[in-house]
Amino acid sequence: MDLGLGGRGILLTGASRGLGFATARALVDDGARVLISSRRADSVDAAVSALGGGPAAFGVPADLAEPDAAEELVTAALDRLGRVDGALLSVGGPASGSVLEVGEDAWRSAVDSVLLGPLRLVRALVPHLAEGAAIGFVLSTSVRQPIGSLAISNGLRPGLAMTAKALADELGPRGIRVFGLLPGTIATDRITEIEAASGDPAAARSRTEAAIPLRRVGRPEEFGRVAAFALSPAASYVTGTMIAVDGGVTRAL
């Protein structure tokens, strides 16, 4: 299938590794041009190099929690890519802990990075988008069911999902699509770190896989291909919905 991504410009945040990078890889492989960002300049540079550099891939270090980051990213994307046809918005996972354990400062920090940061970027980006553009939010299965010891994610991700659905209503008349992606357990560096922190990574992986109908964790490229499709013109009638990429682990409809 031709996804129709050839020549299109896509902005991706939190994309120097993990799910964002896997999506950038899939986009570039299908002919798109990308500008990726994350907080660390060295990580961004390494990711851009791995993607082959210009004219297919560019990068800018940015922290979405910073108020000026949104305008800077949009300016850079327009300058490097010449056009922006879509964006994949992803931020790092917020601090772990239960509702009663996590301090108020951690909640406030997460609101800035998980909620307000992406919204600032959307506001800065939308005036430059034309009909056929798409905005994707990388969320979590916590949108549909709580995850143990991730109280902040459980609290904020569902709100961002509903915001995405509201945006789909607002931008639909302009032909701009908005959707969310709900990754389950994917074999990224973050998952490896969580498993290592358990003291017995192999046992932690076995417990996780036992709860997944496909009996394995996902691969980043499996997520990346779904995200690339959803951002592409091939998914031109997909908007206002949440797409689970979780091996069947989510029990809710």
**Cα–Cα distance, 192 to 206 (Å, whole number):** 13
Domains of the chain: 9-245 (3.40.50.720)
The proportion of the chain whose per-residue pLDDT surpasses 90, expressed as a percent, equals 90
pLDDT score at 190 = 80
Q: What is the pLDDT of residues 128-169, one digit of tens each?
A: 999 999 999 999 999 999 998 899 999 999 999 999 999 999
How many CA atoms are closer than 13 Å to the CA of 166, on its beta-carbon side?
A: 8
pLDDT score at 253 = 84
Q: At what angle do helices 189-197 and 201-210 cross, to 10 degrees?
A: 110
* pTM of structure: 0.96
Tokens 């908007």 belong to: 239
Tokens at residue 131, please? 């009909």
**Cα–Cα distance, 149 to 5 (Å, whole number):** 39
Which amino acid, 245?
V
**Cα–Cα distance, 123 to 104 (Å, whole number):** 27
**Cα–Cα distance, 3 to 50 (Å, whole number):** 22
